[in-house]
Amino acid sequence: MKILFLGSGAFGLPTLKTLIQAGHDLAMVVTQPDKPAGRGRHSTPTPIAAYAAEIGLPVLKTANLNGPEVIAGLQALTPEILVVIAFGQKIADNVLRLASHGGINLHASLLPAFRGAAPIQRAILSGDHTTGVSVIRVTNIMDGGEILGQIPTPIGDSETAGELHDRLAELGAPLMQQVIEQVESESVRAAIQDSTRISQAPKLSKDLAHVDFSQSARLVSCRIRGLSPWPGCLADLLTPSGDIRAKVTLLKCREVPMADHCGEPGDVLPELHIACGTGAIEILTLQPIGKRAMNMRSLANGYGVKPGWRLLSHPQQPEGVA
């Protein structure tokens, strides 16, 4: 099929590669404009734009897909279908009408659960054991179109949002290819989303970058993994006397089966586990500010951490607030 691909984030890369390998005609890739990134704040293309340029696909970078001049240019391409993945802009009806088969979208949840910008993170934060990917029709209701295909998958006990992102991106690519083939052969089956099961996945913010160790090990683990790699859970590493030895970002962990009341919340226990309100967690990866990421044993060796030390995490104050 002749495809107009609308995407910006890395989540769409496996699908874009799969569609090319399947022999579809990629009329154009439409993506967000370059943005400053990194310490030097250099102008950087989106992952989709960078890959498209690398293999010689025509690329349109626009901050307003729905502008009259942009629509006129896309109309001349006569696409048969729009494939939309992590694009980052609302798509107007007159854009959808450019393609004879409209638009289809790959979303990183089992819709209608977790509609919105952060479905992967919110699934982990909510303590779900299963998530998946959905291909839906694009409509004027955010993530509310008919479901054309879904694949469920379990969430690993120590899996972070970053790791799950990459795995779901790979899982969604063959599903999107399958749905496109069904659309082309007019064999696709559409299911209306169950309105009683809708949940939301609002965008994350930096003020979430903390964890409450007085909660259960399950909730603490979900919090740390759901906010990794961004914004991460920040914590102070305290000596027994209460001095701050280091500030760290907690990136990956798992629950450790232990009896209740094994220590005060945040305490470093034997085996370097961290006590929670009930149970404990093992920190698998953390990163001292300004240092490389490491495991808890390496941190202990470098900073002299022993049982009796503790981690303290608290809500971050907005910039400029003393």
Domain CATH code at residue 59: 3.40.50.170
Domain-located, residue 99: yes
Write down the pLDDT at residue 260.
Answer: 54
Two structure tokens written together for 22: 């399947």
Q: pLDDT of the chain along its 322 residues, tens only? A: 999 999 999 999 999 999 999 999 999 999 999 998 877 788 999 999 999 999 999 999 999 999 999 999 999 999 999 999 999 999 999 999 999 999 999 999 999 999 999 999 999 999 999 999 999 999 999 999 999 999 999 999 999 999 999 999 999 999 999 999 999 999 999 999 999 999 999 999 999 999 999 999 999 999 999 999 999 999 999 999 999 999 999 999 999 987 555 789 999 998 999 999 999 999 999 999 999 999 999 999 999 999 999 999 988 654 443 3
286, two tokens: 């953390």
**Structurally, how many domains does the chain consist of?**
2
Domain assignment of residue 321, yes or no: no
**pLDDT at position 202, please?**
97
Which of 171, 197, 223 is at the close of a domain?
197
Phi, psi of 300 (to 5 degrees): -60, -40
For residue 168, being part of any structural domain is answered with yes
Do 42 and 143 fall within a single domain? Answer: yes
Domain boundary among 155, 172, 197: 197
Do both 158 and 16 map to the same domain? Answer: yes
- For residues 169 and 242, membership in a common domain is answered with no
Judge if 186 and 230 occupy the same domain: no
Cβ neighbours of residue 234 closer than 8 Å, sequence gap 6 or more: 209, 210, 247, 248, 249, 250, 313, 316
Q: Are the beta carbons of 205 and 231 closer than 8 angstroms? A: yes
> Which ranges of the chain would DSSP assign to H, the alpha helix?
13-21, 47-55, 68-75, 93-96, 119-125, 161-184, 217-226, 296-303
User: Does 149 reside within a domain?
Assistant: yes
Give the ranges where 33-157 is alpha helix by DSSP (H). Answer: 47-55, 68-75, 93-96, 119-125
Specify whether 129 is located in the same domain as 174: yes
> What span, in angstroms and rounded, lies between the C-alpha atoms of 292 and 290?
7
CATH of the domain at 258: 3.10.25.10
pLDDT score, position 127: 97
In this structure, is residue 320 part of a structural domain? Answer: no
The domain boundary, picked from 136, 171, 197, lies at: 197
Contact 313, 235 (CB under 8 A): yes
Same domain as 222, residue 144: no
Residue 36, in any domain of the structure: yes
Same domain, 46 and 177: yes
The parent domain of residue 34 ranges over 2-197
pLDDT attached to residue 321? 36
pLDDT of residue 320: 40
Which positions ≥6 away from 103 have C-beta within 8 Å?
A: 6, 81, 82, 83, 84, 91, 95, 96, 137, 138
- Do 184 and 235 reside in the same domain of the chain? no
Q: Which pLDDT belongs to residue 257?
A: 80
Do 139 and 218 have their domain in common?
Answer: no
Residue 317 covered by a domain: no
What Å distances lie between residue 25 and 82, 223, 304, CA to CA?
12, 42, 59
Peptide bond into 270 cis (omega under 30): no
Encoded amino acid at 11, one letter: F
pLDDT at 315: 87
* Cis amide leading into 47 (omega within 30): no
How many C-beta atoms surround the C-beta of residue 100 within 10 A? 11
- Specify whether 188 is located in the same domain as 213: no
Residues 149, 261, single domain; the answer is no
Within-domain flag for 318: no
Question: 258 and 299, same structural domain?
Answer: yes
